[in-house]
Amino acid sequence: MAAMETLSTSPNQRFALKAHAWEAANSQWVLSPQLWDVQRDAALFVFREPRWSVDADHWISDTKVRLSLRKYPGNHRPESIKVELDCASLAATILPATSTSLAELETVLERMLPGL
């Protein structure tokens, strides 16, 4: 796996979205995301399954980031899953309205995509 790169940082620079980029197939890249507390130099959330990839990210506040996620190879419905991660409360919302903790996020997402 390649070195971790920073994709974006929160407006106040306290939190960062980082990713390990790896080539899953010829010219098909997966950006396996991780959410970091920069001040503490500690991960807040890391996917256990590296096939989760971030397609887009947007910080909506100093502590909240909205992600568009897909699981490689991406042949699932919905194609993309939108989530909001709250770094301050360690909570996640799978849009439009499924709330969970960061600790349970991956489990909830996996249940949404049976058979992958």
Give pLDDT tens digits for 79-112: 899 999 999 999 999 999 999 999 999 999 999 8
Q: Which of 46, 33, 31 is nearest to 102 (CA)?
A: 46
What is the phi-psi region of residue 41: left when phi exceeds 0, alpha when psi lies from -120 to 50, beta otherwise?
A: left
Determine contact, residues 65/95, Cβ cutoff 8 Å.
Answer: no
Give pLDDT tens digits for 23-71: 888 888 899 999 999 999 999 999 999 999 999 999 999 999 999 999 9
